[in-house]
């Protein structure tokens, strides 16, 4: 498929969707921006930093939700993946350490530095997080707690819009929740010729029963690696 102009469905939330679309267009492909999820901030969310020695983010949405609510930027930040780490640096955090992989990989990375921590690890995240980071940290003997700052919900896609989108060559998926939303769309609008390209194995997992042309993920959970799959005919 290398060299052929393809129609790529960008499913991630904004503002990340626009950034991904720019990269897809730079590769010579057509970008169809149609997020499957939307992010809503939780009203009157409480951020208590007493006794907190570090922050842990599992998504760029978590970074943005925290940065919009709190001016603290001196605490050490642990992040899952390059995109989340980049969002933290862009938000003004000075010390950012990232771990490639999933929530468990991040927990192991933080636990390996438990001797450097001076307080609990706070995980600002969603009402329904993709994984239980606080629980994973506690299993490693690291004090942790959550701050619920936003909720992620599916976007209503009309039948007419869905019929157009499922005819794309590939759909890019950045989270398990997006894959779950795509699975729901595919129940009503089968797309046996669509390729689902996810950021990681965990992202693709909700599509295990979906009939698709391909389900693939890169060896590293980086967007650059994900985009490389487009021209590889994965």
Cis omega (within 30 of 0) for bond into 15: yes
Q: Residue 57 sits in a domain of what CATH number?
A: 3.40.50.10090
The model carries a pTM of: 0.79
Claim to verify: residue 197 and residue 220 sit in the same structural domain:
yes
Claim to verify: residue 27 and residue 61 sit in the same structural domain:
no
Pull the structure tokens for residue 123: 């995980």
Instruction: Tell me whether residue 1 is in a domain.
Output: no
Give the Cα separation of 234 and 219 in Å (integer).
Answer: 12
Claim to verify: residue 120 and residue 169 sit in the same structural domain:
no
Greatest distance between any 2 Cα atoms in the chain: 55
Claim to verify: residue 93 and residue 45 sit in the same structural domain:
yes
Claim to verify: residue 143 and residue 44 sit in the same structural domain:
yes
Claim to verify: residue 121 and residue 54 sit in the same structural domain:
yes
pLDDT of 62: 93
CB 7 within 8 A of CB 169: yes
Give the Cα separation of 104 and 99 in Å (integer).
Answer: 10
Claim to verify: residue 126 and residue 51 sit in the same structural domain:
yes
Single residue among 126, 152, 178 that ends a domain in this structure: 152
Claim to verify: residue 19 and residue 59 sit in the same structural domain:
no
pLDDT of 46: 87
Locus of tokens 């003997």? 141
Claim to verify: residue 123 and residue 201 sit in the same structural domain:
no
Across the chain, which has 234 residues, the per-10-residue mean pLDDT values are 83 90 97 95 91 94 94 94 88 90 85 90 89 89 94 92 96 93 96 95 93 94 90 73
pLDDT of 215: 97
Alpha helix (H) residue ranges in 75-206: 81-90, 103-111, 133-139, 159-165, 176-188, 201-204
Split into its structural domains, the chain has a count of 2
Kindly state the helix (H) or strand (E) to which residue 12 belongs, with its residue range: none
What crossing angle do the helices spanning 81-90 and 60-69 adopt, rounded to 10°?
A: 20
- Domain range for residue 13? 7-36+155-232
Claim to verify: residue 134 and residue 57 sit in the same structural domain:
yes
pLDDT of 1: 44
Give the Cα separation of 24 and 20 in Å (integer).
Answer: 6
């Amino acid at each position: 498929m290398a060299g052929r102009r393809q129609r790529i469905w960008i499913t991630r939330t904004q503002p990340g969707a626009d950034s991904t679309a720019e990269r897809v267009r730079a590769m010579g492909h057509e970008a169809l921006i149609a997020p499957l999820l939307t992010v809503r901030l939780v009203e009157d969310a409480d951020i208590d930093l007493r006794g907190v020695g570090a922050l842990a983010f599992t998504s760029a949405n978590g970074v943005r939700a925290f940065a919009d609510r709190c001016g603290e930027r001196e605490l050490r930040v642990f992040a899952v993946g390059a995109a989340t780490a980049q969002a933290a640096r862009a938000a003004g955090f000075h010390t950012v350490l990232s771990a490639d992989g999933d929530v468990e990989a991040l927990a192991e990375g933080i636990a390996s530095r438990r001797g450097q921590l001076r307080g609990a690890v706070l995980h600002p995240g969603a009402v329904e997080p993709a994984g239980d980071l606080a629980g994973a940290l506690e299993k490693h003997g690291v004090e942790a707690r959550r701050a619920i700052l936003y909720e992620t919900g599916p976007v209503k896609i009309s039948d007419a819009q869905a019929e157009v989108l499922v005819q794309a060559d590939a759909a890019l998926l950045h989270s398990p929740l997006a894959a779950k939303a795509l699975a729901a769309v595919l129940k009503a609008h089968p797309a046996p010729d669509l390729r689902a390209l996810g950021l990681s194995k965990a992202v693709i997992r909700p599509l295990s029963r979906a009939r698709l042309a391909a389900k693939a993920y890169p060896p590293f959970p980086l967007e650059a690696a994900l985009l490389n799959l487009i021209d590889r005919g994965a």
